[in-house]
C-alpha cells in the first residue's frame, strides 16, 4: 500500500540532499579559508626574500645583487622559488612567465610559469622597481594549493559518497519505519470502515509522535464503539419501550371500533390520544438530546436561585397533593454559566423524577450551594434509590430499571438532564442519599 518512493521517503531524501549541500558549502568555505592562509604564508615569504635582496642591492650594489639572484636561480632550479632580475646587464629568470614579470607594474601578480617539462605552474609573485630602475621579481609556485585541491577533491568525493550512501540507507529505514506505522493506522481505520471497532493500535516503547497519534485514534475508536453500543442499546430500548404504548393504542382502537358504542369510542380515542402524546414526548426528548449533542452550548452568567425557586413553585401543588415535603436550601447569590431555559428544563426533569419515586409522606430536599469551581444543584429524595452499579446506565436514553417499568415515563428525563449539563460545560451525577437518591447538577460557577 505504501512504497519507499512515498512522500515520507522523498522528504527524508530531500533533507539528506539539503544536508549534503550544506556540507559542500561548508567544505568550499573551509577550502577557501585554507587557500587564504597558504597565500598569506607565500606573501610573507616572498616579502622577506625581496627585503633581503633589496638590502644586498642597497649595501653591496647592483653587481652583487645580480650575483645573489643568479646563485638562487641555480640553487632552486626546478623547485618552488621563482626569481627574475632585469637590469642594465640583461634579464635573469628562473623560467619564462606569461606575461613576463619584467614588464608588469610594481606589486603582486599571479602568472603562469612555463616549467622545463613544458607544463605550467601558477606563480604568486611580487615585482619591485629599485631606485636605479632595476626590476626585481620574487615569487613562489603555488604547488601547495594544487596539492590542497587534489586532496580536497578526493576527500570531498569520498565524503560525498559516504554521505550519499548514509542518506539513502537512512531514507530507506525512515521510510520503512513510517510505512509500517502508517500501515498499522490504515488497518485500524480500515476495520472501522468495515464496521469492526474492537481493534486498537499498540504503542511502541519510545512513545513517539506516532504513538500520540495512536492514542488519539484509540480514544476515537473507544468513543465510536461507545456511541455504537449506545445506539444499539437505544434501539433496543426504543423497540421495548415504545412497542407497548403503540400496541396498547392499536388494541384499544380496534376493540372500540369492533365492539364499542359512542361512549366507548370516545373513551378509547381519549386514551389513544394520551398514549400518542406520550410517544410524541419520547421522540421530542430524543430529538432534544440529539440537538444538544450536535450544537455547542452558549452559556452566560446566570443567577441560579430564581430558576430553581420557580420550578419548585411549579411542583409545590403536586408535592402537596402527594403528601411529599419539599424543602429548599438555596444560596441566594449563586451564579453560574448556564442558559436559563435549558437549566429550568433539566432541573424540572430531575425534580419530576424525584417526585415519581418518593413515597407519600416522604421528603425531597433541594439545595443550591457553591463548591468551587462548581455551583451545585442537588435534589435528594428518600425513595428506593438506584444501585451504584446502575447509576451510569440509567443516564442513557430509554434505560429504566425493571422495578420502574410499570411506572409512567419513558426513561428519558435523566438522560435529557445529563445532556443539558454536558451541553453547558457542566456535570450530572447520581449518588446515595441514605436512603434514597441524590441527583447533582454541577455548572461552572462565576
> pLDDT tens, 300-311?
899 999 999 999
Give the C-alpha separation, 440 to 374, whole Å: 11
Q: Give the model's pLDDT for residue 404.
A: 46
Distances (CA, A) of 66 to 63, 92, 136: 5, 8, 10
- pTM reported for the whole predicted model: 0.46
CA distance 417 to 351: 11
Residue 261 phi, psi (nearest 5): -90, -160
Q: Which residues pair with 383 in a beta bridge?
A: none
For the chain, residues with pLDDT lower than 70 are 1-13, 15-16, 19-20, 23, 26-27, 30, 34, 78-79, 102, 114-119, 143-153, 156, 192, 195-199, 203-208, 227, 229-244, 260, 278, 281-297, 397-411
435: preceding bond cis by omega (within 30 degrees): yes
Select from 103, 102, 147 the least CA-distant residue to 121: 147
Enumerate residues 6+ apart whose C-beta is below 8 A from 146: 121, 122
Q: Which residues, in sequence order, are bridge partners of residue 203?
A: none
The CA angle 385-403-354, to the nearest 5 degrees, is 40
Find the angle CA(214)-CA(218)-CA(223) to the nearest 5 degrees. 150
Which residues is 441 bridged to in the sheet?
377, 428
Three-class DSSP category at 303: strand
Find, among 314, 304, 446, the residue nearest to 378 by Cα.
304
CA pair distance 391, 388, nearest whole angstrom? 5
Q: What is the CA radius of gyration of the chain?
A: 49
Phi, psi (rounded to 5 degrees) for 398 = 70, 5
Taking alpha carbons only, the member of 382, 386, 388 closest to residue 435 is 382
pLDDT of res. 89: 83
From first CA to last CA, the distance across the chain in angstroms is: 54
Distance CA 306, CA 343 (A): 11
365 forms beta bridges with: 327, 380
DSSP letter at 299 equals -
For the stretch 343-373, pLDDT in tens is 998 999 999 989 988 998 999 999 999 999 9
Cell of 250: 392499536
- Strand 363-371 relative to strand 325-330: parallel, antiparallel, unpaired? parallel
CB 91 within 8 A of CB 135: no
Contact status, residue 112 vs residue 120, Cβ threshold 8 Å: yes
Amino acid at each position: 500500500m505504501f512504497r519507499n518512493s512515498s512522500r515520507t521517503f522523498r522528504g527524508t531524501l530531500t533533507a539528506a540532499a539539503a544536508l549534503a549541500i550544506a556540507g559542500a558549502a561548508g567544505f568550499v568555505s573551509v577550502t577557501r579559508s585554507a587557500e587564504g592562509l597558504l597565500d598569506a604564508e607565500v606573501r610573507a615569504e616572498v616579502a622577506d626574500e625581496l627585503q633581503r635582496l633589496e638590502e644586498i642591492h642597497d649595501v653591496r650594489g647592483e653587481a652583487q645583487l645580480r650575483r645573489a639572484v643568479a646563485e638562487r636561480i641555480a640553487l632552486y632550479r626546478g623547485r618552488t622559488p621563482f626569481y627574475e632580475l632585469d637590469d642594465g646587464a640583461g634579464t635573469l629568470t628562473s623560467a619564462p612567465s606569461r606575461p613576463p614579470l619584467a614588464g608588469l607594474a610594481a606589486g603582486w601578480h599571479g602568472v603562469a610559469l612555463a616549467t622545463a617539462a613544458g607544463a605550467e605552474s601558477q606563480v604568486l609573485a611580487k615585482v619591485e622597481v629599485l631606485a636605479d630602475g632595476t626590476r626585481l621579481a620574487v615569487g613562489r609556485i603555488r604547488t601547495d594549493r594544487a596539492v590542497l585541491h587534489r586532496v580536497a577533491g578526493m576527500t570531498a568525493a569520498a565524503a560525498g559518497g559516504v554521505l550519499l550512501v548514509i542518506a539513502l540507507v537512512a531514507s530507506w529505514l525512515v521510510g520503512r519505519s513510517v510505512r509500517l506505522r502508517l500501515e498499522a493506522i490504515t488497518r485500524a481505520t480500515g476495520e472501522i470502515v468495515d464496521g469492526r471497532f474492537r481493534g486498537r493500535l499498540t504503542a511502541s516503547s519510545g512513545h513517539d509522535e506516532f504513538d500520540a497519534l495512536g492514542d488519539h485514534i484509540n480514544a476515537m475508536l473507544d468513543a465510536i464503539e461507545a456511541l455504537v453500543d449506545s445506539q444499539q442499546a437505544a434501539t433496543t430500548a426504543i423497540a421495548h419501550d415504545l412497542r407497548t404504548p403503540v400496541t396498547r393504542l392499536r388494541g384499544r382502537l380496534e376493540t372500540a371500533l369492533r365492539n364499542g358504542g359512542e361512549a366507548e369510542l370516545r373513551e378509547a380515542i381519549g386514551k389513544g390520544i394520551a398514549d400518542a402524546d406520550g410517544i410524541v414526548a419520547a421522540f421530542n426528548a430524543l430529538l432534544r438530546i440529539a440537538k444538544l449533542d450536535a450544537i455547542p452550548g452558549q452559556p452566560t452568567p446566570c443567577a441560579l436561585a430564581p430558576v430553581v425557586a420557580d420550578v419548585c413553585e411549579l411542583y409545590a401543588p403536586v408535592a402537596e397533593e402527594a403528601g411529599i415535603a419539599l424543602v429548599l436550601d438555596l444560596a441566594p447569590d449563586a451564579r453560574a454559566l448556564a442558559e436559563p431555559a435549558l437549566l429550568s428544563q433539566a432541573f424540572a426533569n430531575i425534580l419530576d423524577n424525584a417526585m415519581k419515586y418518593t413515597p407519600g409522606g416522604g421528603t425531597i430536599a433541594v439545595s443550591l450551594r457553591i463548591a468551587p469551581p462548581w455551583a451545585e444543584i442537588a435534589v435528594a429524595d428518600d425513595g428506593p434509590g438506584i444501585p451504584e452499579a446502575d447509576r451510569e446506565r440509567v443516564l442513557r436514553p430509554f434505560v429504566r430499571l425493571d422495578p420502574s417499568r410499570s411506572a409512567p415515563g419513558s426513561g428519558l428525563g435523566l438522560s435529557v438532564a445529563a445532556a443539558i449539563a454536558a451541553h453547558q460545560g457542566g456535570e450530572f451525577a447520581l449518588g446515595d442519599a441514605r436512603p434514597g437518591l441524590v441527583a447533582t447538577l454541577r455548572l461552572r460557577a462565576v
